[in-house]
Structure 1
Amino acid sequence: MHGIKRSRLSSQAEVIRREKEAGKIAVYGSLQAEILTLKKNKIYTPDALKKTTELLDLNPEFYTIWNYRRHILLHLFNSANPEEIVSLLTTDLRLTMSYLQVHPKVYWIWNHRKWCLENVPVGPEDTERWRNEFWAMELAVIEKMLDADARNFHAWDYRRYVLSSLPESFKPPRTALDELRYTKKKIESNFSNFSAWHLRTKILGGMWEGMEGHVVEKQKDAVALDDDLADIDEFELVRQALWTDPGDQSGWLYHRWLIGDHPEESRLREEINSIRELNETEPDSRWCMNALAQYDILLSSSTRGEERNELRQEARGLLRRLGKVDVFRKQRYRDIAKNI
């Protein structure tokens, strides 16, 4: 009896659920049709703006509605003073923030935040202050989002946008050293943070651009451009990541970037020895074997005689092992071995 009763109740509940879903779909469809008609007729009123909010609450991925919303706002800006424009933009920034808390990876929401920032009024002293307050808020928002999810590449990408777009009047100015400190903090809290490693390559690459090769190599050993960063050895930093989790790709990609295409021989030998030691501890680590094979081949190009043969023999052996561990790329490893 109990089984039958539960079945009937479950069936009734399913009917109720379907009716609710059908009702929601009908409301959504009606609202969508109404707003698309407003858009077609070029209706740019506060009421139309409110309607777009209602629809975006239901579906924040509807990029056509975001575009329409921007057209409405631009039309409203034409008859508004700077304070009113700031108020409208503040409302939209709050709106997008509420959406990002649920949908942190929707491009259209991030794009609308960018649009809001880019449309803050420019002009008298007060509007300049407003602009700086908007950008300062964005930095704070992004830091909170990355504290919550340090691997959210959308947030990292948006952070790069914000930093590159800060107005000249922004105080205090953000420097490359500030960003090095920030990425180091994020990396040390989670070595598998690919986005933080990637941003570090962009920052350091810009700092090293135009330097002579031997100066760059010294900077890799220690970023001595600031007292707070003087003790940062880039290779030591990434080695911590490799030894902590040799199976994570992030650190290995950064290590390969640091090595470059024309490393100093002493540096390359030191790193090969370090990776050989790690490989003895982690013999089945695909990334470890892959890096060691690459560096053996790289070093062999600048050596002669027996050492050259030994390096290439070790590389071939590693590639054979990789073919067994990483069977989906077996043919690739064979092709590389043939060309050694």
Structure 2
Amino acid sequence: MQFESDDLPLSQRAEWKDVTPIPQDDGLHPIAPISYTKEYSEVMDYFRAISRQKELSPRALQLTEEIIWINPGHYTAWAYRLDILKHLNVDLRTELTFLDEFAEENPKTYQLWHHRREIIKLLDDPSGEMAVIAKILQEDSKNFHAWSYRQWILTRFQLWEGELTYIELMLDQDVRNNSAWNQRYFVVTRGNTVTPDSGATLQREIDYSLAKIRLAPNNESPWVYCRG
């Protein structure tokens, strides 16, 4: 289905002529009404209309995209989008492409990472995901949501091999990266390629943390790691 330009208001697009928007009802005397933009109010009015009818269509999919570009944290729009994707049997690789573009501007949106996790569950294929996460972490090495998603990928698909090497590169770049230290502890204690109860493993990690302490003795992270 071809849609008219999203530069046009929904009320002026031919594909939405059959929909009667439902305005937000704040009651007669709202105490603190939110001053939404005209654009956001309109897309939400149409969203209420289609969600009430449980419409799972290509135009509804397009509408969810417009909503989350305006309000990246709109969890309901993200959840509805997932329902549409499943219903339409859309090629989920195209959804990953969309998420890549979205992450460039909204890398710390929790809903983005949750949605990506659900898409990967459906695909059951993490190909390329570690590279995507690495790109995000290159921009912000302490992005909590990206690290959490990385841990989920590692655990679900058992991709532990090479992770310690990656973490060492991160710590070589910034020995004060507490997120990377946390990731190292996660891998050492949970990864299936190491044995935390092994004396050799423990000594290796102690030696590693002590070496990093010598580089920056006032940095708390390796001290905490060594203690752990």
TM-score, reference length from structure 2? 0.75
| Counterpart selection for 1:75 from 87, 104, 112 | 87
Match of 2:144 in 1: 153
Match of 1:29 in 2: 41
Q: Which has the larger radius of gyration?
A: 1
Match of 1:139 in 2: 130
Shift of 1:199: 2.0
| 1:179 maps onto 2:170 in alignment | no
Q: Using the alignment, how far apart are the partners of 1:191 and 1:101 within structure 2?
A: 26
| 1:199 maps onto 2:211 in alignment | no
RMSD, matched Cα: 2.2
Q: What whole-Å deviation, never above 9, does each CA across 1:68-127 have from its counterpart, x for those lacking one?
A: 1112122212xxxxxxx3x2x12221222222212211110001111111112xxxxxxx
Match of 1:118 in 2: 121
Shift of 1:145: 1.6
Q: Number of residue pairs matched?
A: 191
Contact kept in structure 1, 2:185 and 2:225, CA below 8 Å? yes
Q: How does 1:269-280 map to 2 (within 5 A)?
A: none
Match of 1:240 in 2: 211
| 1:95 maps onto 2:98 in alignment | yes
Q: For structure 1, which runs of at least 5 residues remain unmatched after alignment?
A: 1-23, 78-84, 121-130, 167-172, 223-233, 258-340
| Counterpart selection for 1:217 from 199, 209, 222 | 199
Shift of 1:165: 2.4
Q: Residue 115 of structure 2 aligns to a residue in which SS?
A: helix
Q: Using the alignment, how far apart are the partners of 2:160 and 2:77 within structure 1?
A: 37
Q: Residue 119 of structure 1 aligns to a residue in which SS?
A: helix
What amino acid sits opposite 1:61 in the alignment? G
Match of 1:8 in 2: none
Shift of 1:38: 0.8
Q: How does 1:221-300 map to 2 (within 5 A)?
A: 221-222=203-204, 234-257=205-228
Q: For structure 2, which runs of at least 5 residues remain unmatched after alignment?
A: 1-35
| Counterpart selection for 2:108 from 105, 123, 138 | 105
Contact kept in structure 1, 2:153 and 2:159, CA below 8 Å? no
Match of 1:62 in 2: 74
Q: Using the alignment, how far apart are the partners of 1:73 and 1:219 within structure 2?
A: 45
Shift of 1:190: 1.0
| 1:45 maps onto 2:57 in alignment | yes
What amino acid sits opposite 2:201 in the alignment? Q
Q: Using the alignment, how far apart are the partners of 2:81 and 2:94 within structure 1?
A: 13
